[in-house]
Chains A and B, each alone.
Chain A
Amino acid sequence: MRAVISVVGKDRTGILAFVATECAKRNINIVDVSQKTLQELFTMIMIVEIPEDKDSSAITELEQLGEQQALKIHVMHEDIFNAMHTI
């Protein structure tokens, strides 16, 4: 499925690398990345392709890994945004 990964946390070295590595380990293909830091706050939005067979396990793992690293990681199906923000 195509999903949106959002990452929010205190800015430091290696956040992007960390998330990208974890995605690669799970065979998650990154399609698009946009990233900003506002003062100390790091925010990143990734559009990714998650292989069909790993949907829920990959999502839970990524979100838990985020917590361990003091990052808020959300993985949400792309359809949510299409439904809510387009007519």
Chain B
Amino acid sequence: MRQINADNILETIRMIEEENLDIRTITMGISLLDCADSDIDRSCQKIKKKITEKAKNLVSVAKEIQQEYGIPIINQRITVTPISLLLSASGGDPVKYAKALDEAAKEVGASFIGGYSALVQKGMTEAEKALILSIPRALSETDIVCASVNVGSSKAGINMDAVSLLGRVVKECATLTRDRNCIACSKLVIFCNAVEDNPFMAGGFHGISEPDCVINTGVSGPGVVRNAIRKAGKSASMDEIAEIIKKTAFKITRMGQLVGRQASERLNVPFGIVDLSLAPTPAVGDSVAHILEEIGLETCGGPGTTAALAMLNDAVKKGGVMASSSVGGLSGAFIPVSEDAGMISAAEKGVLSIEKLEAMTCVCSVGLDMVIIPGETSAETISAIIADEAAIGMVNTKTTACRLIPAIGRKPGEHLVFGGLMGEGPVMSVKQTDASVMINRGGRIPSPLHSLKN
């Protein structure tokens, strides 16, 4: 047996006890392609049966591992095949699928189920359009179902018809749940270059190139990274800091891989990927913004933020890739505003603006995430923000996303409180200029050239 060093043991315990290191999620991906049926009710029944069978032990196995290994596992989630594919076969009211997913996931005790999704980067079928239009009802009439739509990719360009539609969908989601803090919007992600094995919510779905059933894990640990940087002191150079982040990311990923493999063995389901994402929570000491401030910025969002974030994101990936041969998902640093104590306070101070967030999304995963915008923002302006963000992803061959929450009836500076992991945040101001002519043109932005890069 290899001798374990006492310092290493204490380091691990400190990471978990004091620095909020945890396994953010064990996510089971389940393919529903074999549940497709020409009758929507039969299709829903098959879905429920398959999910409740495959995931029946998901929560208990996670508890077991948590206890044996002494590592907190926060969420157990499920992702499924994009429902638009099943809807193509069955027709009917798509919300029936949302309700079936909601019931099945609740029955097995999962905290979220993702896959009320459509991939429409090149064009929309009737079923996909129907599903997108049903999202506001689906999300306001269910509790734990998450929806996502992929509107663009580097290979296909951006589907502006879908972008135009989604501006209205986002607005309607907010309006339908205006008395519940517009919560439906927090369960809808609009992607460019969506990944098929993302274990994180709300954008997770089980891609069609994935196996029948798979276990993916998502690890977190902004607090661990921040403390490691703090210990290095103020005189360490940027490459030294990058090295520290890399080593820390390595340790965190190894833990994620271990837990993922254990879960996959015990559930008898193949292991997919570890998503090493620095995913913040509103808890003190669990913030990505605070890492950037630890690197040496007075406030996140000021000049220097993009550079610091680029280094952080890259170093996290490098450490993760060394630790596991199956790193996947989004892997990087998340910058949701309402879920990150440091981001919230930077936005409140007025230092962090939507424009700066947009610049930050050029260098990190994943996008304008949990950004609360004024309720008066028009659907066209929301579409325009989505198009901007998708363009960044398309041109830079990376995943970008929008999870915007129009706070109906609220103005910039006012607050919206979701509670729990979703957090809270100030309404951020948006330039209310009119982009309706461009948005209403529809059509498609052609895919970009992949050579002559300057």
Contacts and interface: CB of A to CB of B under 8 A. Distances in A.
Interface string B1-20: 11011101111110000000
Interface in B58-85: 64, 67-71
B7 to A, nearest CB: 9
A52 B243 CA distance: 40
Report, as a range, how many residues of chain A touch the other chain: 20 to 34
B9 A77 contact: no
A11 interface: no
B162 to A, nearest CB: 42
B69 A74 contact: no
Given A75-B70, A79-B69, A4 B4 contact: yes
A80 B255 contact: yes
A76 B69 contact: yes
A67 to B, nearest CB: 14
Interface in A31-87: 34, 43, 45, 47, 55-56, 59-60, 74-86
Interface size range of chain B in the complex = 20 to 34
Contact of B67 (A2, A56, A83): A56
Given A2-B1, A85-B251, A86-B2, A80 B71 contact: yes
B4 A77 contact: no
Contacts, number: 63
Nearest to A2: B1
Contact of A43 (B1, B10, B257): B10
Contact of B9 (A1, A2, A4): A4
B251 A6 contact: no
A1 B251 CA distance: 22
Contacts of B13: 6, 74, 76
B8 A81 contact: yes
B258 A79 contact: yes
B178 interface: no
A1 B68 contact: yes
Contacts of B1: 2
Contacts of A79: 69, 258
Contacts of A78: 4
A74 B70 contact: yes
Contact of A80 (B2, B5, B69): B69
23 contacts: A2-B1, A34-B6, A45-B9, A45-B10, A56-B64, A56-B67, A59-B68, A59-B70, A60-B67, A74-B13, A76-B70, A80-B69, A80-B71, A80-B255, A80-B258, A81-B9, A82-B2, A83-B258, A84-B255, A85-B4, A85-B8, A85-B11, A85-B251
Given A56-B64, A80-B71, 4 more contacts: A75-B70, A78-B4, A81-B12, A85-B11
Interface of A: 1-2, 4, 6, 34, 43, 45, 47, 55-56, 59-60, 74-86
